[in-house]
A and B are shown apart, each in its own frame.
Chain A
Amino acid sequence: MSGRRIFAQPARYAAIAPYLWMVLFFLVPFGFVLKISLSQTAIAQPPYVPVFDFTEGWAAIQAAFAQLSLDNFRLLVSDSLYISSYLRSLVVAVTSTLILLLIGYPIAYGMARLPQRWQAIAMMLVIIPFWTSFLIRIYAWINILQHDGLLNKVLLALHLVSTPVVWLSTDTAMYIGIVYSYLPFMILPLYATLAKMDPSLLEAASDLGASPGRAFWLVTFPLSLPGVGAGALLCFIPIVGEFVIPDLLAGSGSMMIGQTLWLEFFTNKDWPVAAAAAVALLVLLVPPLLLYDRLQRRQLEGAN
Chain B
Amino acid sequence: MARKVGKMSPFNITALALGMAFLYLPIVILIIYSFNASRLVTVWGGWSLRWYYEFFNDRAMLDAAWMSLRVAAVSATIATLLGTLAAVGLVRGERFRGRSLFSGMLYAPLVMPEVISGLSLLLLFVALNAERGFWTVTIAHTTLTICFVTVVVQSRLASIDRSLEEAAMDLGCDAVHAFLSVTLPLIIPAIAAGWMLAFTLSLDDVVIASFTTGPGSATLPIRIYSEVRLGVKPEINAICTMVIALIAVVIVIASLASKLSSSQGESAAPL
Contacts and interface: CB of A to CB of B under 8 A. Distances in A.
Contacts of A244: 206-207, 225
B5 A133 contact: no
A169 to B, nearest CB: 11
A41 interface: no
B124 A281 contact: no
B59 interface: no
Most central of B4, B8, B108, B140 by chain A CB within 10 Å: B4
B124 A241 contact: no
A111 B62 CA distance: 41
B111 interface: yes
Interface stretch (A54-62, A70-78, A112-120): A112-120
Interface string B86-123: 10111111101010001001101101111110011101
Contact of A12 (B4, B96, B139): B96
Contacts of B216: none
Contacts of A139: 30, 224, 228, 232, 236, 240
B116 A129 contact: no
Interface in A1-53: 4, 7-19, 21-23, 25-30, 32-33, 36, 46
A8 B92 contact: yes
Contacts of B250: 131
Interface in A127-149: 127-137, 139-144, 146, 148-149
A18 B86 contact: yes
A134 B113 contact: no
Given A10-B175, A110-B16, A129 B115 contact: no
Given A12-B93, A134-B204, A241-B113, A143 B41 contact: yes
Contact of B12 (A18, A27, A110, A142): A110
Contacts of A132: 27, 244, 247
A167 B125 CA distance: 40
Contacts of A281: 113, 115-116
B105 A127 contact: no
Interface residues of B, number: 91
Nearest to B147: A22
Q: Give the interface size bracket for A toward B.
A: 35 or more
Contacts of B102: 15, 18-19, 22
B243 interface: yes
Contacts of A275: 119, 123
Contacts of B123: 29, 32-33, 36, 271, 275
Contact of B228 (A7, A142, A238): A142
B46 interface: no
A187 B20 CA distance: 12
A22 B106 contact: yes
B115 A241 contact: yes
A172 B150 CA distance: 37
Given A33-B119, A281-B113, A115 B1 contact: yes
A19 B90 CA distance: 11
A134 B205 CA distance: 8
A271 B251 CA distance: 39
Most central of B7, B111, B206 by chain A CB within 10 Å: B111
Given A19-B102, A22-B106, A33-B123, A135 B221 contact: yes
A103 interface: yes
B171 interface: no
A109 B271 contact: no
B251 A131 contact: yes
A278 B114 CA distance: 11
A143 B30 contact: yes
Interface stretch (A155-163, A221-229, A258-266): A258-266
B82 A17 contact: yes
Contacts of B105: 22-23, 26-27
A18 B146 contact: yes
A209 to B, nearest CB: 18
B177 to A, nearest CB: 10
Interface of A: 4, 7-19, 21-23, 25-30, 32-33, 36, 46, 103, 106-107, 109-111, 113-116, 122-137, 139-144, 146, 148-150, 153, 180, 183-184, 187, 234, 237-238, 240-244, 247-248, 258, 261-262, 265-266, 271, 274-275, 278, 281-282, 285, 289, 292
